[in-house]
Structure 1
Amino acid sequence: MTATTTATAGSTAPRNCGGAATTGTASSRATTVAELEYVALACRCLIGAVFLISAVSKVRDRSSREAFARTLSALVPAVGSVRLGYLVVAVELLIAIAVALPVTAVWGLGAAAGALMAFSAALWLALRRSVTVSCGCFGWSDTPVSRVHLVRNAVLVASALAGATTHVVAGDTTLLPGGVVVAVGAALVVFIGVVFTDDLASLFAPASPPARS
């Protein structure tokens, strides 16, 4: 009887160890998936803020509207600048709202990626045609379009796609306040870099040699 009991206990131990390992692996995967939702939140905050500020800055006063109309006329001369301007602002506002809502966040981020790629195509064509025009993205910079703006848009496209992907993978996950603060803070840092791209580019641009007399 004693031998039988010992053998049974010995055969049970590996099973318990295996169950513990499986539980630990499942818990680790759940933690990783939950962390992805913080990435999605950061991307949503970044994209939503960028599109909201972009839309508001274009229509905040008469001079901003006129400057944006001139930009559109130079970038897309075949299309009426006024109607296209209203369409662009409306799309940007809709994207900002969609990204803010968890139910429509994936669709909003996908639309943001598509809109950014369309904007990038217009900027690229302007560079190909050697058109000197400001980007007009945020309404207060007169810096001509350059490759820096294409890089900035590429970063935003990557952020939108990353946000959509991680939001789908993570699903409905309960977020902790500390993680939310970190995610929003990270989004704010990138947002400042995006909004002040022209200033940062001019700050780190190599100094031009002095003109010879």
Structure 2
Amino acid sequence: MLGGPLSWDPAAGASLVLALRCVVTVVFAASALGKLRAPGEFRASVVEMRVVPGRAVGTVTAAVPLLEAALAAAVWVPALTAWAFVLSFGLVAVFTAALVSVLRRKIDTSCSCFGATRTRVGPAHLVRNAVLLAATAAGCAAALGPDGPVSVPVPGPLDPAGALVGLLGAVCVSALVVSTDLLADVFSGAGGSDATRGTSRRVP
């Protein structure tokens, strides 16, 4: 009924926080690893996007993967969970603003968010980031719920069935987010043409 106060199911909240933690960890860990494995590609993307002053490019390209890795771990610390979700939301919002700027200025470049790629920035990347914004916003709301964040290693009201459903959902969402470039190429038929452009571009 709509007349009474909103109720918060601790078990459902714990399962939701678990799923959202998994999404943040998988996505940010994959993103950080991809950037660290291909630092030249990420640096080139930042330079081509022209959203960062030239003298700050080195600092930004070094700091972003470290921040992503830190957030991937911090989201599992109960005392830091809410802050980790807030910072994750802010980081994705900044990334999204950069992509919107690139599209509005019609800059033809790749994102290299998850490492070396030839997929050009497009609407699919905005959809991906919208999903991440929703996930991190939901994480903030769940972590700040009446019962607070429930850490998996600590005994809590975690329903096994709910946790399983949440984990399956997290796996699906994370897989779709990480494979955005591949899916964009498949549905646009651009895979073959991109391959002819080369596989590496580096900026000193």
| Class of the TM-score when normalised by the shorter of the 2 chains | 0.7 to 0.9
* Aligned positions, number: 178
* Cα separation, 1, equivalents of 2:78 and 2:165: 19
Q: Which residue of 2 aligns with 1:175?
A: 158
* Cα separation, 1, equivalents of 2:59 and 2:109: 19
Describe the superposition over 1:189-212 as per-residue Cα deviations: whole angstroms up to 9, x where unpaired.
1111001112223333489xxxxx
Q: Which residue of 1 aligns with 2:181?
A: 198
In the alignment, structure 2 segments of 5+ residues that lack a partner are: 151-155, 191-204
Q: Which residue of 1 aligns with 2:196?
A: none
**What is the TM-score of this pair, normalised by structure 2?**
0.79
Of residues 70, 78, 85 in structure 1, which corresponds to 2:61? 85
> What residue identity is the alignment partner of 2:178?
V
Please give the root-mean-square deviation of Cα atoms over the aligned residues, in Å. 2.3
> What residue identity is the alignment partner of 1:189?
C
How do residues 1-213 of structure 1 correspond to structure 2 at under 5 angstroms? 29=7, 32-60=9-37, 64-75=38-49, 76-79=51-54, 80-169=56-145, 170-171=147-148, 172=150, 173-205=156-188
**What is the TM-score of this pair, normalised by structure 1?**
0.76
1:54 Cα shift? 0.4
* Cα separation, 1, equivalents of 2:135 and 2:79: 18
> What residue identity is the alignment partner of 1:65?
P
* Cα separation, 2, equivalents of 1:65 and 1:120: 20
8 Å CA contact 2:41–2:116 kept in 1: the answer is no
Q: Percent identity?
A: 35
Which structure has greater helix proportion?
Answer: 1
